[in-house]
């Protein structure tokens, strides 16, 4: 989109500003007479704010990315006081030299439509991109200049559809509030008080709705359509007012990463653009009809949530005043007490971990020992205003330990203090599964469940449950962010998640990670003591984790070709069936499923055997039938490695040496066995030709967790009875 | 560490645009997608209805009460099945412009087929379009979506023929997205939406005056369209043909435009998908 850019000279210096509706800015200057900034907390002008002396309109409509770059990198110099139109014009062109060069290259390359190989540069026409030359529009003594008046009284009809409030009094009535009285006819009063009042009211409501959110223009329209429909026709004016009040930040979706804007020899290096919303690098440039550039960059990583472009308007509402959460002199901020844990019915291991986490939450900011930047993010990107590292805590809970129940006391703690909390999970079905459980635990709280297509996207609540992508729509909004199943995230090596999680957490907020299999880097941090953590090494029922055993078996492909399965495997399967257990049979590839099912049916003809995968439409139904013991053996891929609880089950992992099964995956799959109280000792078999490192490490991890559990006395029976070192040699 | 070195030495694998899997082998000329996705493209190689290019029997064109069409025929590259719907949605609504070269190439293939068919019909004389006209989008859509997908498709189709792309239509007012309307609503809403652009006449006249080389042995005079009564052949490009109302409205405008400069038009239509 194109946006207006102007320069205003205060008594203390120059400032560059962007505006969605210049009339609001002019009116603000005229009305308050003071162009300074308002101090939100005190509601008064900040100390040192000064009167505006004059205002230069630099461009009525220029590509938003350029305007924001100029504003953010503005350095004033004393000669500016005496500059005229031409000098301002030259200044703009000079500051944007790099951008103009890139644009000319993009045009010369002709994007996709030319056939030549040589990239020529095609000169841009400044007037087409940025409008006519700069002119002065307001002076303190004289008021609005003729150009200024022209701008102010602009005919709104053409613009009405796109969000400008209609200033024309003859049209009668304000567009925002139905409560303000209809206008009088004073033509001399260019901008009636009532109109201004309705803009102010609209801006107030908008700021409230935008608090803690980070939205593109299209998303803002959706929010308005749902919550504040009366604002939709005049959103530009309302947003600009809120911006002038300091409650809404206006910025561009894609911006230059810092440190690239120098002059001199180093400036010629390729400039790196980053998406402000998700933090990923942006390489893709296309011609854009909204801003007129041929090389407008857009971010592909977060494309699913709308296009974040160089010229896309990104609005960020500042979070409302937050009650200090931890420590401090505020009343009600006591350290936690044991009684807070009582109502949740936790097992001893869970209690200890939850207590530890609550200690972490209650700790004051100055108590933290070492701060660590999120490892995946480069610290050089300072122009993006990355959140200085919030504190993190890891709850390392084994499969079946009851992670969800453990976070309830944490949520309770934050909610009691009036804070906002967020629980983020990797997948939509996990979100849908957790929602009723959390709702049951917090019956009086309003809970917003967010995922692609959810109807609650724009609601206000104190407790949020969301998938990863939804985090991108928040900005410094939460006091507590709980990330569940950290290693299962779709892009767990992608810095986008780290960025999004960090940005949506308030400056003084805290992180809690939940996982049974934290990534290696985190495990190392735990070992070296850098990461506060708590282990929950035993399951809810108090029995140790089943330690996997090994069966020697060739590749499944070979078995399928020869149409024969090894005797050891069949014997083990038989034993499982005999004892009445359900059998999870994990294979590494979807193409193995059908042949494996057929092969197994030949050996076990009397029982129901089915296969499922992510491509299976009837997966949900098959899981239900498996739970009800109708299906006895379920052949599946890693799609079922997490989240599924089936009582009395054994687990078989074929091709356990496959590269698709890493340590975390093996631990998770093994975790499907022995979940319920009635059958806590399921067996787990790893079938492969030889031992491999991931297998050994998975077993080591499980054994060490059992050892820790025993040491702390959480286990009902000693684990040595269960962990067998038998390896059946075949 | 081992995996790091492995990644350095292994050839770089790109993932398929449509399905996201790694491309182990791709089809020649289509580097963006994997062979699985390529083979699932529902090309329309033979159209069963001569007029609208449907690949199944056509109840529309044989209706008795059909108003006469302003265009002669339509051909489409692919059938608008679920997969193609997803591709177009990614491109048009999501704005994933990585699909652009792929879809432009598909248009080029369809163009080739169409030219071949028309050449056969005309008794093996090589068939040429004089100009390719994309269906325009309204200004509001342009500022929202930032690009006109039909325009890219038009350039894709024009790339293999000698025709130029003329953007001589303008969309007057913005109607609600067609995808939300019923068949009847679509047909009715198309009245008067497309108008000629300001330089339309000028462009058309210059096209007609352009001398065309058609091989060394033909005389230049044979091919000048300005010698009257040689029909001017225009090709309208759109992304999806459902009822044909959009193409029809554009064709009607083009007919009027051509009449105003004294030319007789032959209007054809090539769309990416046929639903």
Cα separation of A306 and A317, whole Å? Answer: 18
Contact B144 A307 (CB under 8 A): no
Query: Would you say residue A188 lies in a domain?
Result: yes
Contacts of residue B137, defined as CB under 8 A and 6 or more positions apart, other chains included, come to B145, B148, B150, B171
Contact A284 B95 (CB under 8 A): no
A522 shares its domain with A643: no
Element spanning A548, H or E = none
- Among A286, A493, A660, which would you mutate to test the B interface (most chain B Cβ atoms within 10 Å of its Cβ)? A286
A361 shares its domain with A461: yes
A21 shares its domain with A153: yes
- Among A113, A291, A310, which would you mutate to test the B interface (most chain B Cβ atoms within 10 Å of its Cβ)? A113
A632 shares its domain with A712: yes
Q: Is residue A380 a contact partner of residue A274, using CB atoms and an 8 Å limit? A: no
Specify the number of domains making up chain A. Answer: 3
Cα separation of A704 and A517, whole Å? Answer: 13
A431 shares its domain with A401: yes
Give whichever of A356-360, B22-26, B210-214 has the largest mean pLDDT.
A356-360
Contacts of residue A209, defined as CB under 8 A and 6 or more positions apart, other chains included, come to A223, A224, A227, A228, A317, A458, A460
A522 shares its domain with A553: no
A449 shares its domain with A368: yes
A594 shares its domain with A718: yes
pLDDT class for A503, splitting at 50, 70, 90? confident
Each residue's pLDDT tens digit, B31-56: 888 888 898 999 988 877 767 767 66
User: Sheet harboring A135-139: ordered strands across?
Assistant: A14-19, A2-10, A52-63, A135-139, A143-144
Give the range of the structural domain holding residue A129, as residue numbers without chain letter. Answer: 2-250
State the pTM of this model: 0.78
Q: Answer with the one of A250, A273, A291 that is the final residue of a domain.
A: A250
Q: Poorest-confidence range of A329-333, A336-340, B145-149?
A: A329-333
Q: For residues A254-263, give the mean pLDDT.
A: 67
Query: Would you say residue A588 lies in a domain?
Result: yes
- Among A298, A307, A490, A692, which would you mutate to test the B interface (most chain B Cβ atoms within 10 Å of its Cβ)? A307
Query: Would you say residue A303 lies in a domain?
Result: no
ipTM of this complex > 0.90?
A: no
Q: Answer with the one of A250, A268, A302 that is the final residue of a domain.
A: A250
Crossing angle of the two packed helices A428-441 and A403-416, in degrees rounded to 10? 60
* Residue B21 in contact with partner chain A when CB distance is under 8 A: no
pLDDT at A376 over 50: no
A560 shares its domain with A530: no
**Neighboring chain A residues of B100 at a CB cutoff of 8 Å:** 112
A579 shares its domain with A435: no
* Residue A298 in contact with partner chain B when CB distance is under 8 A: yes
Contact B95 A298 (CB under 8 A): yes
Q: For residues A612-639, give the mean pLDDT.
A: 85
Give whichever of A501-505, A698-702, B208-212, B226-230 has the largest mean pLDDT.
A698-702
Q: Answer with the one of A250, A276, A311 that is the final residue of a domain.
A: A250
Q: For residues B49-69, give the mean pLDDT.
A: 68
Q: Which of A263, A255, A304, A242 is nearest to A282 (CA)?
A: A255
Query: Would you say residue A22 lies in a domain?
Result: yes
pLDDT class for A329, splitting at 50, 70, 90? very low
A62 shares its domain with A113: yes
Q: The domain that contains A530 carries what CATH number?
A: 3.40.50.300
Each residue's pLDDT tens digit, A409-443: 999 999 988 889 999 987 787 888 888 889 998 99
pLDDT at B127 over 80: yes
Q: Poorest-confidence range of A193-202, A636-645, A690-699, B67-76?
A: A636-645
A492 shares its domain with A572: no
């Amino acid at each position: 989109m194109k946006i207006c850019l102007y320069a205003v000279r205060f008594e203390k210096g120059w400032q560059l500003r962007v505006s969605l509706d210049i009339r609001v800015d002019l009116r603000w200057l005229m009305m308050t007479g003071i162009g300074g900034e308002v101090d939100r907390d005190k509601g008064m002008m900040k100390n040192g704010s000064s009167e505006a002396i004059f205002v230069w309109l630099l461009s009525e409509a220029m590509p938003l990315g350029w305007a924001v770059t100029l504003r953010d990198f503005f350095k004033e110099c004393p000669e500016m006081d005496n500059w005229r139109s031409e000098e301002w014009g030259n200044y703009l062109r000079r500051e944007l030299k790099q951008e103009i060069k890139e644009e000319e290259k993009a045009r010369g390359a002709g994007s996709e439509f030319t056939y030549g190989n040589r990239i020529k540069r095609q000169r841009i026409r400044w007037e087409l991109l940025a409008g006519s030359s700069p002119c002065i529009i307001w002076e303190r003594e004289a008021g609005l200049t003729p150009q200024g008046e022209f701008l102010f009284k602009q005919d709104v009809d053409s613009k009405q559809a796109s969000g400008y409030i209609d200033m024309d009094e003859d049209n009668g009535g304000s567009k925002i509030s139905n409560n303000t009285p209809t206008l009088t006819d004073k033509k001399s009063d260019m901008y009636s008080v009532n109109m201004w009042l309705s803009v102010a009211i609209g801006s107030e409501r908008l700021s409230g709705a935008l608090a803690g959110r980070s939205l593109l223009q299209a998303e803002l329209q959706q929010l308005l359509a749902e919550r504040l429909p009366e604002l939709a026709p005049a959103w530009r004016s309302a947003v600009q007012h809120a911006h002038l009040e300091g409650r809404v930040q206006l910025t561009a979706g894609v911006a230059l990463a810092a440190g690239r804007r120098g002059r001199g020899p180093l400036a010629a290096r390729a400039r790196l653009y980053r998406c402000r919303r998700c933090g990923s690098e942006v390489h893709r440039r296309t011609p854009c009809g909204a801003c007129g550039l041929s090389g407008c960059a857009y971010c592909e990583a977060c494309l699913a949530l709308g296009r974040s472009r160089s010229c896309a308007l990104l609005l960020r509402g500042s979070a409302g005043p937050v009650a200090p959460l931890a420590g401090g002199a505020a009343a009600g901020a006591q350290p936690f007490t044991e009684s807070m844990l009582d109502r949740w019915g936790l097992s001893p291991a869970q209690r200890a971990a939850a207590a530890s986490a609550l200690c972490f939450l209650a700790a004051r900011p100055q108590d933290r020992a070492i701060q660590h930047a999120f490892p995946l993010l480069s610290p050089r990107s300072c122009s993006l205003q990355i959140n200085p590292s919030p504190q993190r805590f890891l709850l390392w809970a084994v499969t079946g330990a009851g992670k969800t129940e453990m976070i309830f006391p944490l949520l309770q703690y934050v909610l009691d203090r009036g804070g906002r909390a967020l629980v983020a999970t990797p997948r939509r079905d996990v979100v849908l599964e957790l929602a009723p459980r959390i709702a049951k635990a917090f019956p009086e709280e309003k809970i917003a469940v967010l995922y692609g297509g959810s109807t609650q996207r724009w609601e206000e609540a104190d407790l949020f449950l969301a998938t990863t992508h939804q985090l991108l729509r928040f900005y410094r909004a939460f006091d507590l962010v709980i990330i569940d199943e950290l290693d299962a995230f779709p892009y767990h090596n992608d810095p986008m998640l780290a960025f999004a999680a960090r940005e949506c957490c308030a400056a003084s907020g805290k992180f809690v990670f939940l996982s049974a299999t934290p990534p290696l880097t985190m495990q190392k941090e735990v070992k070296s003591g850098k990461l506060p953590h708590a282990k929950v090494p035993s399951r809810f029922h108090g029995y140790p984790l089943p330690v996997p055993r090994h069966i020697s078996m060739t590749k499944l492909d070979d078995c399928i070709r020869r149409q024969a399965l090894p005797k050891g495997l069949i014997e083990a399967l038989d034993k499982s069936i005999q004892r009445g257990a359900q059998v999870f049979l994990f294979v590494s590839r979807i193409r193995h499923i059908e042949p494996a099912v057929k092969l197994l049916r030949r050996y076990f003809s009397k029982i129901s055997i089915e296969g499922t995968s992510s491509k299976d439409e009837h997966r949900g139904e098959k899981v239900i039938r498996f739970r009800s013991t109708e299906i006895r053996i379920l052949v599946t891929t890693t799609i079922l490695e997490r989240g599924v609880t089936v009582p009395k089950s054994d687990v078989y992992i074929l091709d356990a040496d496959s590269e698709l099964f890493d340590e975390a995956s093996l631990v998770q799959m093994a975790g499907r066995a022995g979940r319920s109280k009635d059958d806590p000792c399921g067996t787990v078999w790893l079938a492969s030709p030889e031992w491999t490192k991931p297998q050994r490490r998975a077993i080591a991890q499980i054994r060490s967790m059992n050892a820790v559990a025993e040491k702390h006395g959480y286990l009902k029976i000693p684990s040595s009875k269960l962990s067998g070192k038998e390896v059946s040699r075949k | 560490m081992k995996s790091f070195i492995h990644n350095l030495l292994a050839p770089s694998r790109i993932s398929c645009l449509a399905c996201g899997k790694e491309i182990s082998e791709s089809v020649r000329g289509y580097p963006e997608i994997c062979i699985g996705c390529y083979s699932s493209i529902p090309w329309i190689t033979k159209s069963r209805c001569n007029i609208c290019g449907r690949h199944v029997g056509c109840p529309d064109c044989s209706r008795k009460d059909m108003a006469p069409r302003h265009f002669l025929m339509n051909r489409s590259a692919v059938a608008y099945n679920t997969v193609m719907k997803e591709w177009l949605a990614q491109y048009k609504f999501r704005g994933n412009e990585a699909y652009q070269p792929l879809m432009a190439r598909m248009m080029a293939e369809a163009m080739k087929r169409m030219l071949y068919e028309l050449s056969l019909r005309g008794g093996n004389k090589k068939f040429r379009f004089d100009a390719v006209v994309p269906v325009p989008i309204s200004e509001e859509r342009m500022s929202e979506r930032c690009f006109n997908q039909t325009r890219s498709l038009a350039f894709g189709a024009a790339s293999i023929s000698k025709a130029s792309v003329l953007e001589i239509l303008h969309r007057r007012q913005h109607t609600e997205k067609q995808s939300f309307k019923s068949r009847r609503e679509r047909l009715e809403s198309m009245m008067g939406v497309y108008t000629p652009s300001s330089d339309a006449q000028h462009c058309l006249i210059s096209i007609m005056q352009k001398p065309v080389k058609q091989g060394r042995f033909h005389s230049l005079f044979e091919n000048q369209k300005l010698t009257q009564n040689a029909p001017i052949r225009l090709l309208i490009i759109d992304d999806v043909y459902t009822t044909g109302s959009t193409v029809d409205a554009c064709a009607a405008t083009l007919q009027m435009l051509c009449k105003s400069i004294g030319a007789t038009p032959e209007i054809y239509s090539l769309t990416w998908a046929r639903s």
